Amino acid sequence: MAAAQLTDEELFSELKRLGFTPGPVTENTRPVYLKKLKKLRDEQQQRSRGAKGRSSGGGGSSVSINNNNSSGGGGGGNGHPAAGAAAVRARSAGARQLLNAKRPDRAGKFVLGFSSDESDAEPPRHKAGLNHSDSRRDRGSGLGLQSLRPPQESGAGVSASGPSKSPVGLLEARRSVLGSSPWWADRCKASLGETERSSRALNGNRSPYSLNSSKLAGDYSDTDEEEEEELEERERQRERRLLSRRSLSKASPSLSGVMGENGGDMGSSSISPKNHVDGGEGAAAGSSSTFSLGLRPRFSSSSYNSLSTTYRPNHSNHTGSNHSYGQAGTKRKQPAPEDELLEQFRREEVSGTGGFSAHYLSMFLLTAACLFFVLLGLMYLRMRGSGSTEGVVIKNHPFGAEFDSSYVTIKHVIEIVILNNILTSLSGEHDCKDLNQPLNRSISFSEAAEFLKLQNTDYEDWVQISLEWIIKTGEIVGIRLIAADPTQAVEEVSDISRLESTHPHMSFICRFRRAFFTVIYRVLLILAGIGVVWTLLYYMKYRWRREEEETRQMYDMVERIIDVLRSHNEACQENKDLQPYLPIPHVRDSLVQPHDRKKMKKVWDRAVSFLSANESRIRTETQRIGGADFLVWRWLQPSMSCDKLCSMPSKVWQGKAFPLDRRNSPPNSLTPCLKIRNMFDPVMEVGENWHLAIHEAILEKCSDNDGIVHIAVDKNSREGCVYVKCLSAEHAGKAFKALHGSWFDGKLVTVKYLRLDRYHQRFPQALGCNTPLKASSSSMNTMARLHQRSSTSSTLGFS
Amino acid sequence: MSSTSQKHKEFVAEPMGEKSVMALAGIGEVLGKRLEEKGFDKAYVVLGQFLVLKKDEELFRDWLKDTCGANAKQQGDCYSCLREWCDSFL
Give residue A562's pLDDT band: very low, low, confident or very high (50, 70, 90). Answer: confident
B53 contact residues in A (CB cutoff 8 A): 23, 29, 32
Q: Note whether A718 contacts B: Cβ–Cβ < 8 A.
A: no
Residue A147's pLDDT is what? Answer: 44
Q: What residues contact residue B17 under an 8 Å CB cut-off, 6+ apart?
A: A678, A748, A750
Tell me the average pLDDT of chain A: 65
Q: Note whether A28 contacts B: Cβ–Cβ < 8 A.
A: yes
Q: What residues contact residue A126 under an 8 Å CB cut-off, 6+ apart?
A: A132, A179, A180, A183, A229, A230, A233
- How many CB atoms lie under 10 A from the CB of residue B63? 24
Mean pLDDT computed over A586-592: 86
In this predicted model, which residue has the larger pLDDT, A417 or A575?
A: A575
Residue A24's pLDDT is what? Answer: 74
CA A285 – CA A255 distance, rounded (Å): 10
| Cβ–Cβ below 8 Å for A36 and B14 | no
B43 found inside a domain: yes
The SS3 assignment for A661 reads coil
| Cβ–Cβ below 8 Å for A32 and B59 | yes
Q: Given strand A496-501, what is the order of strands in its sheet?
A: A442-444, A496-501, A479-483
- How many CB atoms lie under 10 A from the CB of residue A752? 18
Q: Given strand A618-625, what is the order of strands in its sheet?
A: A581-583, A628-635, A618-625
pLDDT at A619 over 70: yes
B73 found inside a domain: yes
For A467, the enclosing helix (H) or strand (E) is helix A459-472
B25 found inside a domain: yes
B67 found inside a domain: yes
In this predicted model, which residue has the larger pLDDT, B55 or A655?
A: B55
| Cβ–Cβ below 8 Å for A661 and B88 | yes
| Cβ–Cβ below 8 Å for B15 and A658 | yes
CA A87 – CA A330 distance, rounded (Å): 25
φ/ψ region of A647 (left if φ > 0, alpha if ψ in -120 to 50, else beta) reads beta
Q: What percent of chain A has pLDDT over 70?
A: 41
The SS3 assignment for A246 reads helix
What residue of B is the nearest CA neighbor of A677? Answer: B14
Taking the CA of residue A349 and the nearest CA in chain B, the distance in Å comes to 13
Residue B81's pLDDT is what? Answer: 92
The SS3 assignment for A575 reads coil
Q: Using one digit for the tens of pLDDT, what is the confidence trace for A312-357?
A: 444 445 444 444 444 444 445 555 556 666 665 555 555 455 567 8
Mean pLDDT computed over B4-10: 90
Q: Tell me which of A29, A661, A736, A753 to substitute to probe the interface with B (most B C-beta atoms closer than 10 Å).
A: A29
CA A592 – CA A594 distance, rounded (Å): 6
- How many CB atoms lie under 10 A from the CB of residue A715? 13
Least confident piece of the model among A48-57, A351-360, A724-733: A48-57
Q: Which of A383-387, A686-690, A703-707, A748-752 has the highest mean pLDDT?
A: A748-752
Name the burial class of residue A616, with classes exposed (0-12), middle (13-18) and buried (19+) by CB atoms within 10 angstroms of its CB: exposed
Measured over the CA atoms of residue A574, residue A575, residue A580 and residue A585, the dihedral's sign is negative
pLDDT at A31 over 70: yes
B67 contact residues in A (CB cutoff 8 A): 28
φ/ψ region of A250 (left if φ > 0, alpha if ψ in -120 to 50, else beta) reads left
pLDDT at A267 over 50: no
| Cβ–Cβ below 8 Å for A23 and B59 | yes
What residue of B is the nearest CA neighbor of A658? Answer: B89
B29 found inside a domain: yes
For A633, the enclosing helix (H) or strand (E) is strand A628-635
Q: Which residues of A144-154 are buried (b: 16+ CB within 10 A; e: fewer)?
A: bbbbbbbbbbb
CA A223 – CA A798 distance, rounded (Å): 55
| Cβ–Cβ below 8 Å for A33 and B59 | yes
Residue B50's pLDDT is what? Answer: 92
CA B83 – CA B75 distance, rounded (Å): 12
- Contact by Cβ (8 Å): A630, A585: yes
Q: Tell me which of B59, B61, B75, B87 to substitute to probe the interface with A (most A C-beta atoms closer than 10 Å).
A: B59
- How many CB atoms lie under 10 A from the CB of residue A275? 23
pLDDT at B33 over 70: yes
Taking the CA of residue A539 and the nearest CA in chain B, the distance in Å comes to 36
Q: How many CA atoms lie within 13 A of B32 on its CB side?
A: 13
pLDDT at A459 over 90: no
Q: What φ, ψ does residue A724 adopt, rounded to 5°?
A: -130, 135
Minimal Cβ distance to B17: which of A31, A663, A748: A748
Q: Which of A147-151, A172-176, A743-747 has the highest mean pLDDT?
A: A743-747
For A748, the enclosing helix (H) or strand (E) is strand A747-748
Mean pLDDT computed over A667-676: 83
Residue A134's pLDDT is what? Answer: 45
Residue A536's pLDDT is what? Answer: 97
B61 found inside a domain: yes
Q: What percent of chain A has pLDDT over 90?
A: 7
Residue A30's pLDDT is what? Answer: 83
- Contact by Cβ (8 Å): A456, A509: no
Least confident piece of the model among A349-363, A365-379, A782-796, B18-32: A782-796
Q: Which of A160-174, A268-282, A662-676, B16-30 has the highest mean pLDDT?
A: B16-30
Mean pLDDT computed over A575-581: 79
B88 contact residues in A (CB cutoff 8 A): 658, 661, 663-664
A677 contact residues in B (CB cutoff 8 A): 14
Kindly give the residue spans of alpha helices, DSSP state H, lying in chain B.
6-13, 29-37, 43-52, 57-68, 72-89
Mean pLDDT computed over A219-239: 47
CA A48 – CA A94 distance, rounded (Å): 12
CA A693 – CA A744 distance, rounded (Å): 12
B42 found inside a domain: yes
pLDDT at A137 over 70: no
Give residue B82's pLDDT band: very low, low, confident or very high (50, 70, 90). Answer: very high
- Contact by Cβ (8 Å): A204, A196: no
Measured over the CA atoms of residue A190, residue A192, residue A197 and residue A200, the dihedral's sign is negative
Q: What residues contact residue A311 under an 8 Å CB cut-off, 6+ apart?
A: A150, A151, A154, A319
Least confident piece of the model among A73-77, A184-188, A540-544: A73-77
Mean pLDDT computed over A608-632: 84
Mean pLDDT computed over A291-308: 45
* CA-closest candidate to residue A736, choices A663, A678, A662, A660: A660
Q: Residue B42: which domain range?
A: 6-89
pTM of the model: 0.27
- Number of CB pairs, chain A paired with chain B, less than 8 A apart: 58
* CA-closest candidate to residue A377, choices A385, A388, A366: A385
Taking the CA of residue B48 and the nearest CA in chain A, the distance in Å comes to 11
Q: Note whether A520 contacts B: Cβ–Cβ < 8 A.
A: no
Q: Note whether A760 contacts B: Cβ–Cβ < 8 A.
A: no
Minimal Cβ distance to B15: which of A26, A657, A752: A657
Q: Given strand A708-713, what is the order of strands in its sheet?
A: A708-713, A722-726, A673-677, A750-754
- Contact by Cβ (8 Å): A690, A648: yes
The neighbouring-strand residues paired with A498 are A444, A482
- How many CB atoms lie under 10 A from the CB of residue A15? 20
Mean pLDDT computed over A168-176: 44
Measured over the CA atoms of residue B82, residue B83, residue B89 and residue B90, the dihedral's sign is positive
The SS3 assignment for A723 reads strand
Least confident piece of the model among A466-475, A597-606, A617-626: A466-475
B1 found inside a domain: no
Domains contained in chain B, number: 1
Minimal Cβ distance to A29: which of B14, B52, B87: B52
A741 contact residues in B (CB cutoff 8 A): 14-15
Residue A487's pLDDT is what? Answer: 63
A752 contact residues in B (CB cutoff 8 A): 13-14
Q: Nearest 5 degrees, angle CA A502-CA A506-CA A509?
A: 150
CA A116 – CA A122 distance, rounded (Å): 10
pLDDT at A294 over 50: no
In this predicted model, which residue has the larger pLDDT, A285 or A641?
A: A641
Residue A257's pLDDT is what? Answer: 42
The SS3 assignment for A717 reads coil
Task: Tell me the C-alpha to C-alpha distance, in Å, between residue B32 and each of A65, B25, B35, B58.
Answer: 62, 11, 5, 20
The CATH number for B50's domain is 1.10.150.40
Residue A452's pLDDT is what? Answer: 62
Minimal Cβ distance to A36: which of B15, B17, B59: B59
What residue of B is the nearest CA neighbor of A662? Answer: B88
Q: Tell me which of A28, A721, A740 to substitute to probe the interface with B (most B C-beta atoms closer than 10 Å).
A: A28
Residues of B with CB under 8 A from a CB of A: 12-15, 17, 49, 52-54, 56, 58-59, 62-63, 66-67, 84, 87-89
